Every structure is written in structure tokens, then in C-alpha cells.
Amino acid sequence: MAKLDLDDDIFGGVIPLIYVLSDSRGETANAVVMAAAAQFGDGSVEIVRVPNVKSVDEVRAFFDENYDESRPTAVFHTFANGILRREIRRELDGRGIPSIDLLGPAVTILSTLTGEEPSHAIGATFNPDAEAK
């Protein structure tokens, strides 16, 4: 893989750490992160999945114990509950950890298109073969 010339490797050869947080198993977010990471070659990032997150307190405790500020880190997440999504985003922003909400924007657009409120069901999947309403 070609390297970008960013001040001769600004992270000093340290492998970036990507946390995948979810209120379910984290399979959706993990699939997106794996697809993105594939663009950079094997071993370009380390991915750690943190499933079944139910509160911002769990996220706070996890990062209090596991965050290494000397290592480049980002969080990709999927949370069905919009309030929890915002609380977690605020917590990560407060720590200076970049994060990407993979579910929220898609749910917002679909809600606008359908005129319906989302169910906020954790771990829900779509059945494309079901009859349309």
C-alpha cells in the first residue's frame, strides 16, 4: 500500500486502534469497518469490538480502563436509541476520540422518507422479502 506523506508518519509506526461499539453484537458496524480497513491492507489497523453496550457509564468505564492516548484511536458505533447515541458521542467528543455514528443518519433519512418513527429495536434486521406496508 502506498503511504501518504504526512510529516514522515505522524503516528510513529503505531497501528491505529478502531473500537466498534454496539448495543447488540456489533456485526453491522464491524462489517463496515472491515470493508473500510480492507482499503488499506492487512495489519493497517487493529479492530476491537465492544458489544452489548447499554449505557454511557459502560463506555466511560471502558475507556477509563482501556484508552491509550498515545495510540491513534477512533470509534465506529451503532446504537438504536438516539439518546444513548448522543450521550456516547458527547463522551467520546469530550475525550477527543473521533467517532462515527453508522446507524443514526440512515435511520433519520428513512424516517423522513417513510414518515414513520423508528422502532429503536436493538439488533433489528430488515427482511427484504416481507410485504411492503
Whole-angstrom CA distances from 14 to 7, 9, 40, 71, 133 are 14, 9, 15, 7, 50
Note whether residue 100 is domain-resident: yes
Identify the domain containing residue 68 by its residue range: 17-114
pLDDT for position 1: 47
Classify residue 42: in a domain, yes or no.
Answer: yes
Asked whether residue 26 is domain-assigned, the answer is: yes
Cell of 92: 467520546
Number of folded domains that form the chain: 1
CA distance 125 to 128: 10
| CA distance linking residue 22 with residue 79, whole number of Å | 6
Give the Cα separation of 100 and 83 in Å (integer).
15
Q: What is the chain's pLDDT, residue by residue, as a tens digit (133 residues)?
A: 445 444 445 556 889 999 999 999 999 999 999 999 999 988 999 999 999 999 999 999 999 999 998 999 999 999 999 999 999 999 999 999 999 999 999 999 999 999 999 999 898 888 888 876 6
Domain CATH number, residue 69: 3.40.50
Asked if 22 and 50 touch (Cβ cutoff 8 Å), the reply is yes
2: in domain: no
Residue at 82 is within a domain: yes
Q: Is residue 3 part of a domain?
A: no
pLDDT of residue 133: 62
Cα separation, 79 vs 63, in Å, equals 17
Q: Are 68 and 15 in contact, with CB atoms under 8 Å apart?
A: no
C-alpha distances out from residue 116 to 9, 22, 102, Å = 47, 23, 20
Residue 31 lies in a domain: yes
Task: Give the number of residues written for the chain.
Answer: 133
8 part of a folded domain: no
